[in-house]
Amino acid sequence: MQQPPDDRPHLRDIPADRLAASLAAAGFERADALAHRLGIAVHRDGALTWDDLGLAGIGRFVRASLSERFRFGPLLEVVGEREADDMHTRKWMLRLRTGEVVEAVAIRHWADHTLCVSTQAGCAMACGFCATGRLGLQRNLSPGEITEAVVHAQRAIGARITDIVFMGMGEPLHNFDATIAACVNLNHASGHGIARKRITISTSGLVREIRRMTAEGMRWRMHVSLHSAIQETRERIMPIARTNPLPDLVAAVRERQQALGTDAKWVTFQYVALPGVNMDDRHVDALGRELEGVRYILNVIPWNETDGPFRAPGWDEVKDFTTRLRRLGCPVKVRYSAGKQDGMGCGQLAAETIAVTPREGHMIAPPGIFTSHTG
């Protein structure tokens, strides 16, 4: 006989700022104090089982009462782990209880540890340069599934995750409520306690959701995937641009900057560099024309090899492109995708380990340490 669905909320899914209210509604006394202790245990201390909560100081009788009203236990299973040759990057394949697999990538930079987390299994955006987009959307992750990746990563590396980027599998704003709830749990004093300025949401440019964040005063850092300031090119490589056209996207970004002031003083536009597609003078001029009046940083990402129809740029091409971008008068950064030789770079996450051999001219050194060495 099939068991009825368990509709008890999972403790890791409840936003930390609403946990006290949930406990009070369930009949618990001193709900505020219990919510703080429980939130610290679940999130910052990384409890995964009821026994772990006991070790964190949640008493036996309280745990018994909690188990009657709430679910708790692992939401993810680590089914694969790989360390890149650079020794700074590690990737985990994490199986959801419904069978889908998502990935998380940790990047170490001195004492800081950045974790790239997924918000969906697969992705509906179908960007032509991204391996995840070829999977299609399988399902959204819950807030707890998103943040439990932090717990597994911290246990594996034996260090605290200091920075979170929502740049893994999926479009974060396509799973809006779960993404924002995850941000709350990552930032809250009774959650992981990660500073707001160290949490970044990356979006392909969902205009309605960007405007919703602005209207509701959500001050999370946001990076916008632009990849071209020519609508025709953008539609070619990003189908979502057909329903979220460039003029509307730029207007939404302007509105956000005006509304949030110093919290959105600069917007970072991400720009995957694709030779023969979006690196010529026409595209440079379009950036200056379409983004006039916006305070922005251009984050150039040399395309990372997948099975897509593009070619990764060599360092000479990247240097030439960024040199021509100087005439825009905006800060230009080149992002080195750590671990891309081992399928851990931007756009390479596809619920499996992808090892690729770079083509001739592929840039393998971090920008700022440019070299003519090619793989």
pLDDT digits (tens, 9 = 90+) for 168-186: 999 999 999 999 999 999 9
**Is residue 86 pLDDT above 80, yes or no?**
no
Domain 76-342 CATH superfamily? Aldolase class I (3.20.20.70)
Structural tokens at position 272: 């995957």
The residue among 188 and 348 whose pLDDT is bigger is 188
How do the domains of the chain map onto residue ranges? 11-69, 76-342
Going through 210-331 in order, the beta strands assigned E by DSSP cover 221-225, 267-273, 296-302
What is the structure's pLDDT at 144? 98
The one catalytic residue in 83, 148, 346, 360 is: 346
pLDDT at 351: 58
Instruction: Decide if 171 contacts 124 (C-beta within 8 A).
Output: yes
- pLDDT(370) > 50: no
Residue 307's pLDDT band (cuts 50, 70, 90): confident
Active site residue 103: yes
Which pLDDT score, from 0 to 100, does residue 373 have?
Answer: 30
Predicted confidence at residue 118, as pLDDT, reads 97
Check pLDDT > 90 for residue 375: no
pLDDT of 337 reads 64
pTM, two decimals, is 0.90
The pLDDT value recorded for residue 130 is 85
Output the pLDDT for position 325. 97
Burial class (CB in 10 A: 0-12, 13-18, 19+), 108: middle
Is 346 among the residues known to form the active site? Answer: yes
What is the average per-residue pLDDT within 50-62? 96
Instruction: Render pLDDT for 234-292 as a digit per residue (tens, 0 to 9).
Output: 999 999 999 999 999 999 999 999 999 888 889 999 999 999 999 999 999 999 999 99
Residue 123 is predicted with a pLDDT of 94
Instruction: Report the first-to-last Cα separation within the chain, whole angstroms.
Output: 58
- Spell out a b/e string for 146-179, using b for 16 or more CB atoms within 10 Å of the CB, else e: bbbbbbbbbeeeeeebebbbbbbbbbbbbbbebb
Dist. CA 234–CA 232, nearest whole Å: 5
Q: How confident is the model at residue 146 (pLDDT cuts 50, 70, 90)?
A: very high
Q: pLDDT-based confidence at 160, cuts 50/70/90?
A: very high
* pLDDT value, residue 365: 36
Whether 163 has a pLDDT exceeding 50, the answer reads yes
Contact 169, 145 (CB under 8 A): no
- Which is the catalytic residue, given 103, 171, 209, 317? 103
Mean pLDDT computed over every residue of the chain:
89
- Banded model confidence at residue 1, pLDDT cuts 50, 70, 90: low
The one-letter amino acid at 344:
M
> Averaged over 69-88, what is the pLDDT?
92
CB 116 within 8 A of CB 337: no
pLDDT above 70 covers a percentage of the chain that reads 89
pLDDT of 341 above 80: no
Residue 371 confidence (pLDDT) above 80: no
pLDDT confidence tier of residue 338, bands split at 50, 70 and 90: low
Supply the pLDDT for residue 309. Answer: 82
pLDDT at 78: 96
